[in-house]
């Protein structure tokens, strides 16, 4: 990934490296991105807290409606999760069936190519 910085930011990062705050420019940029990530997470948490604070101001009817909406979203999410799980199970079962077919073909091939008096000829 290439990052283009403004001249001011470039100078600032070089100064931070010279001052010994960071080993190199990559470390300074990584730290900045980590701080941005933390800021984003905190913003989401504040937004969620503000959303829950509004619930105390709502009447019983509005809260019931919100509960119903949340339950419907949870059910939809659960259905999507179940579909994904079932798709995975079907893929596993298909892979197992393919392996069983391969094993059967190998056994048949071994039995056909073994000599008439061989122990392998009696394996089925």
% residues pLDDT > 90 (the chain): 28
pLDDT at position 89 is 93
Give the C-alpha separation, 118 to 110, whole Å.
Answer: 11
Indicate whether 33 and 84 sit together in one domain: no
Indicate whether 40 and 89 sit together in one domain: no
Indicate whether 102 and 121 sit together in one domain: yes
Tell whether pTM > 0.85: no
Residue-range definition of the domain harbouring residue 105 = 59-124
Indicate whether 73 and 111 sit together in one domain: yes
Give the C-alpha separation, 124 to 4, whole Å.
Answer: 68
Indicate whether 70 and 47 sit together in one domain: no
Indicate whether 46 and 74 sit together in one domain: no
Indicate whether 70 and 50 sit together in one domain: no
Indicate whether 43 and 70 sit together in one domain: no
Indicate whether 53 and 68 sit together in one domain: no
- Going from the C-alpha of 2 to that of each of 5, 18, 26, 34, 67, the distances in angstroms are 10, 22, 11, 17, 46
pLDDT, tens digit, 9 for 90 and up, residues 43-102? 777 776 666 556 556 566 667 777 788 888 888 888 888 999 999 999 999 999 999 999
Indicate whether 31 and 19 sit together in one domain: yes
Indicate whether 53 and 67 sit together in one domain: no
Count of structural domains within the chain: 2
Indicate whether 78 and 48 sit together in one domain: no
Give the C-alpha separation, 14 to 35, whole Å.
Answer: 19
Please report which residue ranges of the chain form alpha helices under DSSP H: 7-18, 25-55, 60-113
């Amino acid at each position: 990934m290439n990052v283009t910085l403004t001249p001011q930011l470039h100078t600032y990062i070089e100064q931070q490296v010279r001052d010994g705050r960071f080993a190199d420019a990559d470390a300074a940029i990584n730290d900045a991105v980590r701080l941005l990530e933390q800021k984003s997470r905190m913003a989401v948490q504040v937004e969620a807290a503000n959303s829950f604070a509004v619930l105390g101001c709502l009447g019983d009817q509005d809260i019931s409606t919100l509960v119903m909406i949340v339950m419907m979203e949870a059910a939809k999410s659960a259905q999507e999760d179940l579909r994904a799980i079932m798709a995975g199970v079907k893929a596993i079962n298909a892979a197992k069936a393919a392996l069983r077919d391969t094993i059967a073909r190998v056994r048949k091939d071994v039995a056909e190519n073994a000599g008439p008096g061989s122990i392998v000829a009696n394996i089925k």
